[in-house]
Amino acid sequence: MNITNRDSGVVAALPPPRGKSGVIGWLRERLFSSPLNILITMLMVWLLLMGLPPLVEWALLKANFTAGNAQECRAGPGGACWAFIREKYRLILFGTYPYDEQWRPLLATLVLLAVIVCSAMRRFRDMRLFVIWAVGLALVACLMWGGFAGLSYVENTRWGGLPLTLILSTFGIAFAFPVGVVLALGRRSDMPVIKALCVVYIEIIRGVPLISLLFMSSVMLPLFLPEGMSFDKLLRAQIAIIMFASAYVAETVRGGLQAIPRGQIEGAQSIGLNYWQTMRKIVLPQALRIVIPPLVSIFIALFKDTSLVVVIGIYDLTLSAKASLSDPVWRGFSIEAYLFISLIYFLFCFAMSRYSKRLEAQLDTGYTR
Q: Using CB under 8 A, list all residues that contact other proteins.
A: 263-264, 266-274, 277, 281-282, 285-286, 289, 363, 365-367
What's the chain's length in residues?
A: 369
Q: Residue 15 burial (CB < 10 Å; 0-12/13-18/19+)?
A: exposed
Q: How far is CA 168 from CA 235, 301, 364, in A?
A: 9, 13, 31
Residue with smaller CB distance to other proteins, 129 or 260: 260
User: Within 13 Å of residue 207, how many CA atoms lie on the same side as its CB?
Assistant: 6
Query: What's the min distance (Å) between Cβ of 277 and other proteins?
Result: 6
Shortest spacing between CB 291 and other proteins, in angstroms: 14
Minimum gap (Å) between residue 127 Cβ and other proteins:
17
Closer to other proteins by Cβ: residue 2 or 365: 365
CB closer to other proteins out of 9 and 272: 272
Q: Considering beta carbons, is residue 280 or 357 the nearer one to other proteins?
A: 280
Closest approach, Cβ 278 to other proteins, in A, equals 10
| Residue number with CB closer to other proteins (148 or 367) | 367
Question: Is 341 within 8 Å of 318 (Cβ atoms)?
Answer: yes
Q: Residue 249, by phi and psi: left (phi above 0), alpha (psi -120 to 50) or beta?
A: alpha
Beta carbon of residue 274, minimum distance to other proteins (angstroms, whole number): 6
Q: Can you tell me whether residue 148 is helix, strand or coil?
A: coil
From the CB of 296, what's the least distance to other proteins, in Å? 19
Residue 176 contacts residue 249 (beta carbons within 8 Å) = yes
DSSP state of 327: -
Nearer to other proteins, 223 or 271 (CB): 271
Which of 153/367 has CB closer to other proteins? 367
Least distance in angstroms from the C-beta of 292 to other proteins: 13
Say which DSSP state 219 is in. I
Measured between alpha carbons, how far is 117 from 109 in angstroms, rounded to an integer?
12
Say how far apart CA 311 and CA 103 lie, in whole Å. 28
